[in-house]
Amino acid sequence: MSGPLYRAPRGVLEYLPPRGEEFLRVRERLAAPARAAGYSYLELPVFEQTALYARGVGESTDVVSKEMYSFTTRGGDEVTLRPEGTAGVVRAVLEHGLDRGRLPVKLWYAGPFFRYERPQAGRYRQLQQLGIEALGSEDPALDAEVIAIGWEGYAGLGLRGVRLDLNTLGCAVCRPAYREALVAFLATIEMDAETRRRATVNPLRVLDDKRPEVRDRLAEAPLMSTFLCAECRAHHDTVRTLLADVGVPWRDEPRLVRGLDYYTRTTFEFVHDGLGAQSGIGGGGRYDGLAEVLGGPALPGIGFGLGVDRTLLAVEAEGTGLAVAAPLDVFAVALGPEAGREVFSIVVSLRRAGIRTDQAFGNRALKGAMKAADRSGAAYAVLVGSRDLAADVAQVKDLVAGNQTAVPLSRLVDTLTRLLQEKDS
């Protein structure tokens, strides 16, 4: 027997039932703390002008130079499937004047992002992320809020193996001196041509290199923490103090720069060591100059992107499990064609009452229909035959206990609502 004619593209992960429900539960749990903090949902375009990412993310980054899915449309426009969310959010805020209202602007978003990478566990070409962005304030309390929201999302999933790495990258006042010292150091070590080119464009990007041999050579590189101006040091100290006050543990990671050019001051990463090489499950930072780079006014901001794919892997690695409810409450069966019309009406009425309901299709015999009911995971079956129609009742069967009761059709919705509430209590 030959295989399927078509297959999903390489590096694209599909969440099939029942794992799809677990994926949704992870995303919902990660979003809950943001919604509780007043962040509003923003649905972003899946593609943008290529120049937005080249300018906003940085042409020296691997994301822009190696990983973007870019193409020319039939109309001649240069566009790119979104590789990250922050640049698109800032573009939307500026384009639609959201920064002219109440500040800070607080937004959250979720969906697929695209990077042409070598696929492996935890690294996909279509990756699922959830992010938040807060724009319009330099207050370090906003930094602490964003980080705490991410931490609470992981805690809400019961994860215990998450570590928060924290650093500061300084600002336009103190970073030039650090850059000069770093450039001088990099000139003394051996680098391949591509790394040397990267060091020329943006030397901080070299610190993000994950190759062990490069990291060994960078062991004595100068640290940003020794070059911080008084204002950046005070900002960073306040962020750390506020996190400690609310019980969010952090670890100083002075070499943390992350992979995008727009970060300033606070930068952070959530790490889970149970995932092997792909241990970063989320992260972000402050990007106070990004709005100006994109042609807008000064609009400080901070945000994060959390990897939903990797977070699900972390949940599975810890074995914490997700309480995913059965997909159905009721499974309805018509015993004979004359009962089909009534059963369809029953199914729609139950759904309108918030009861998750499906039915047997195809005029199945009773035995086959009841097998389908058992496989559905529903708590109750509703059976209607010609005799039931004549008596104006339906048979309600508890699919766990096995008992069956005749219930008047006029009271069927209320009866099933009560029975389901009793099972949940």
For 267-297, what is each residue's pLDDT tens digit? 999 999 888 777 899 999 999 999 999 999 9
Question: Average pLDDT, stretch 174-187?
Answer: 91
What are the structure tokens assigned to 69, written together?
Answer: 């899915």
CATH match for 330-419 among 3.40.190.10, 3.40.50.620, 3.40.50.800, 3.30.230.80: 3.40.50.800
Answer for the pair 205, 182: CB distance below 8 angstroms, yes or no: no
pLDDT at 291: 95
* Phi, psi dihedrals of residue 404, rounded to the nearest 5°: -135, 140
pLDDT at 211 over 90: no
For the chain, the residue count is 425
Question: Average pLDDT, stretch 81-90?
Answer: 96
pLDDT at 259: 63
Answer for the pair 333, 370: CB distance below 8 angstroms, yes or no: yes
Give the integer Cα–Cα distance in Å for 404 and 415.
Answer: 13
Contacts 24+ apart (CB under 8 A), 188-197: 189/217, 189/218, 190/217, 191/217
Q: Give the fold, CATH level 3, of 19-174+228-318.
A: BirA Bifunctional Protein; domain 2 (3.30.930)
Answer for the pair 169, 179: CB distance below 8 angstroms, yes or no: no
| Tokens 């724009």, located at residue | 135
pLDDT at 40 over 90: yes
Per-position DSSP letters for 100-119, written without gaps between them: GSSSSEEEEEEEEEE-----
Question: Average pLDDT, stretch 103-125?
Answer: 93
pLDDT at 326 over 80: no
What are the structure tokens assigned to 67, written together?
Answer: 């990983």
The model carries a pTM of: 0.90
Label residue 227 by pLDDT band (50, 70, 90). very high
Furthest-apart CA pair in the chain: how many Å?
Answer: 93
pLDDT at 378: 94
Give the burial class of 409: count Cβ atoms within 10 A of its Cβ; 0-12 exposed, 13-18 middle, 19 or more buried: middle
pLDDT at 323 over 90: no
pLDDT at 230 over 90: yes
Say if strands 380-385 and 330-335 run parallel, antiparallel, or are unpaired: parallel
| Whole-number percent of the chain with pLDDT over 90 | 73
Label residue 199 by pLDDT band (50, 70, 90). confident
pLDDT at 250: 96
159-175 pLDDT per residue, tens: 999 999 999 999 989 98
Which residues are CB-neighbours of 423 under 8 A, at least 6 positions away?
Answer: 379
Give the integer Cα–Cα distance in Å for 109 and 27.
Answer: 11
What are the structure tokens assigned to 124, written together?
Answer: 């996909």
Spans of all domains in the chain = 19-174+228-318, 330-419
57-77 pLDDT per residue, tens: 887 677 887 899 999 999 999
pLDDT at 2: 67
Residue 297, SS3 per DSSP = coil
Question: Average pLDDT, stretch 203-220?
Answer: 84
Which range of 121-125, 321-325, 408-412 scores highest in mean pLDDT? It is 408-412
pLDDT at 219: 87
Question: Average pLDDT, stretch 200-204?
Answer: 81
Give the integer Cα–Cα distance in Å for 141 and 138.
Answer: 9
Label residue 207 by pLDDT band (50, 70, 90). confident
pLDDT at 368 over 60: yes
pLDDT at 165: 96
pLDDT at 260: 64
